[in-house]
Structure 1
Amino acid sequence: MSERLDDLTGRMRSIFAEVVTAYLEQGAPVGSKALTERVPLSPASIRGVMAELEARGLLTAPHTSAGRMPTETGLRLFVDGMMQMQRPHARTRAAIENELNSDDVAQALEATTTRLSGLSACAGIVTAPKREARLKQLAFMPLDQSRALAVMVGADGSVENRVVPLPQGTSPIALNEIANYVSGRLSGLTLSEAEARLRRDISDRKEQLDDQAADLVAAGLADWGKDQQAREVLIVRGRANLLDDKSAENLEQVKQLFEELENRQEIMRLLEGVRDGEGVRIFIGSENRMFALSGSSVIAAPYRDADDKVVGVIGVIGPTRLNYARVVPMVDFTAEALTRRMV
């Protein structure tokens, strides 16, 4: 059964809060002697209360004489019920907003994530809607009478292959003609622009193209465009910020976190859950399966467009001992600033 603040005495709450605060500030277990400077009690009395908090699963002692540090359960209790949020300083707010001045949304997102990473001393993460690719070339390779491999090359050098069904009677010559038409007349357009022009040209009979082949390509361009717009791009910045003075003591955890940050599909799956909520979400250690081994925390919030639709998520990933009181409002402010930028 999870512990509640109401289950703790006033003395227990006071000492618990001081232990967690000191641990988050110093990144090291806290001893009873050090707490005498914060709490007007004797070391023996403090040790007794700390032992009780340990028995309740809120504190743990990594070594016999190393002092206590909060467990993940203790951190969750502190974050949800005791933490006093710190509004981002005016300089911090200005630094974040300055990164949003770029006319290019992708550049603004990258710059803002890099700034958030530096300010929080964590790795910054953001998801952004994928911009629709511009078409360069289209080719078909017949596989059999009912299927062909469509190869689409984007202006950015990207290549996408899809197996497409062929209407009965579609000839290789017709496919070649429509491919030449697309590569010659539609190159440089976005997929939605290319689809619109193709349908208009066929309607106006400007091009003598096989109707079935043209309809196939127009529908394909529409589907590809929708698929690309629906995909999100994950940007990760500031991994080096995770290598601080304390990381040397937990090199295995840091190594594990770096490996986890390479698993973009899993990070995207985690952030997908943030899209459905309101405001900042906080995942501490093993509360999220992905970062359970590294013992890391994720703080993230969604941002919206002019239609109040969630279009992405921004946040940070760092050790569980990060300064939640400072970082949580910082992530919240950044998400709000991004929303204003998107409007």
Structure 2
Amino acid sequence: MAPPVTELTDRAREIFRAVVDGYLANGAPMGSKTIAIASGLNLSPASIRNVMGELESLGLLASPHTSAGRVPTERGLRLFVDGMMQAAEPSTEERTAIEAQLAARALRAGPVEDALAATTAALSGLSACAGLVLVPKREVTLRSIGFVPLSRMQALAVMVGEDGAVENRVIDLPDGMDPSALVEAGNYLSATLGGLTLAEAKSRVERELADGRAALDASARALVERGIAIWSEDDRRRPVLIVRGQGRLIDAAAAADLDRVRDLLDDLEGKQEIASLLDSARAGDATRIFIGAENKLFALSGSSVIARPFRGPGGQVVGVVGVIGPTRLNYARVVPMVDFTAATLARLMQ
């Protein structure tokens, strides 16, 4: 556990801040000569090296290579973030870029996930991280389901939600199916299931087919069963995490540490684990910052996540927005940016 920042001398705090600021700015270890020139502390490089050695003994700094200067440890970054960081408000340009997605949403119909994804993409671009949003689990309410023939063996199942969302799936057809069965099955599903969620639709179809109340021939009956089963299974597996901007994690600074970047991208592939981490940030109103191996998920990749919940109608938490990137984040700039994005999404969800 890092010592309280109040236990450091003024000199140690200033030198520690200089190391952290330099590292976060350029990703390179900070040497005593560099700090002596840039910090304005009026200290000799030898005096600075002595203090840096003390900070290293406290576990706040580390020497990645012999005589290569120091970098903050994850423990040191935690001390900096919790006790020394001075956050900077998002600029007018940054606010405008994020709010533009809210304005665009007001002008177009479509699923709310599209606006969430666009806002997250804007956050990704501004922060140079991957943007994350954990969206509320929602049940699709059906407007219609239809089938469009593609070939003798396949058809396109088209589901339209009440919110205007359209999703398609290619399904295999039984041998010898009459094309009229596609029309019959689509008409039955649309007439029977409009206004229901997928779970409700599946239950109703199963009851009506079991009771023989559905006036369908064998081919249409098979198509109805197959179609609703596909959509119900998809709904149970509906992803709750949107990730945008993974490519921003691979930049020139990452070239020297490709193994770490590869581990980070692997972390993002395991969406359920990232979703669970974000879900832990739902409690309370404060922004949560997860640094490196503080969370076992990032033990290999050495990544950081900044996350904040956002609320919908009635003040209920409906999701979490954030960013993921290397521990060398500009925390003072990105934390307020995530906060502002959460406030923007809260307005979107009203």
What's the counterpart of residue 139 of structure 2? 132
Structure 2 counterparts to residues 242-261 of structure 1, below 5 A: 242-261=249-268
Give how far 1:136 is off. 3.4
Looking at structure 2, the residues matched to 57 and 289 of structure 1 have their Cα atoms a distance apart, in angstroms, of: 19
Give how far 1:157 is off. 4.1
Letter in 2 for 1:97: E
Give how far 1:231 is off. 6.4
Looking at structure 2, the residues matched to 180 and 116 of structure 1 have their Cα atoms a distance apart, in angstroms, of: 41
Give how far 1:97 is off. 0.3
Encode CA deviations 1:53-90: one digit per residue, 9 max, x unaligned.
Answer: 00010000000111000000000000000000000001
What's the counterpart of residue 90 of structure 1? 92
1:130/1:154 CA distance change after superposition, 3 Å: farther
Contact 2:2 2:76 in 1 (8 A): no
Encode CA deviations 1:194-241: one digit per residue, 9 max, x unaligned.
Answer: 66xx69xx9xxxx9849xxxxxxxxxx9xx99x959966211110111
What's the counterpart of residue 329 of structure 1? 336
1:291/1:193 CA distance change after superposition, 3 Å: closer
Looking at structure 2, the residues matched to 192 and 305 of structure 1 have their Cα atoms a distance apart, in angstroms, of: 23
- Percent of matched pairs sharing the same residue: 53
Q: 1:313 aligns to what SS in structure 2? A: strand
> Please, which runs of 5 or more residues in structure 2 have no aligned partner?
147-156, 160-166, 171-184, 215-227
Looking at structure 2, the residues matched to 304 and 259 of structure 1 have their Cα atoms a distance apart, in angstroms, of: 30
1:31/1:184 CA distance change after superposition, 3 Å: closer
Structure 2 counterparts to residues 232-251 of structure 1, below 5 A: 233-251=240-258
Contact 1:31 1:67 in 2 (8 A): yes
Q: 2:115 aligns to what SS in structure 1? A: helix
Contact 1:234 1:268 in 2 (8 A): yes
What's the counterpart of residue 313 of structure 1? 320
Does residue 185 of structure 1 match 2:191? yes
What's the counterpart of residue 286 of structure 2? 279
Looking at structure 1, the residues matched to 63 and 169 of structure 2 have their Cα atoms a distance apart, in angstroms, of: 52
What's the counterpart of residue 175 of structure 1? none
Contact 1:130 1:233 in 2 (8 A): yes
What's the counterpart of residue 50 of structure 2? 48
What's the counterpart of residue 67 of structure 1? 69
Q: Superposition RMSD on alpha carbons, in Å?
A: 3.3
Structure 2 counterparts to residues 99-138 of structure 1, below 5 A: 99-100=101-102, 101-102=104-105, 103-104=109-110, 105-133=112-140, 134=142, 136=145
Letter in 2 for 1:73: R
Give how far 1:278 is off. 1.6
Give how far 1:277 is off. 2.8
Question: In the comparison of the two structures, how many residue pairs are matched?
Answer: 294
Looking at structure 1, the residues matched to 48 and 18 of structure 2 have their Cα atoms a distance apart, in angstroms, of: 11
Looking at structure 2, the residues matched to 278 and 124 of structure 1 have their Cα atoms a distance apart, in angstroms, of: 19
Give how far 1:185 is off. 2.7
Letter in 2 for 1:19: V
TM-score by length of 2: 0.75
Looking at structure 1, the residues matched to 12 and 292 of structure 2 have their Cα atoms a distance apart, in angstroms, of: 24
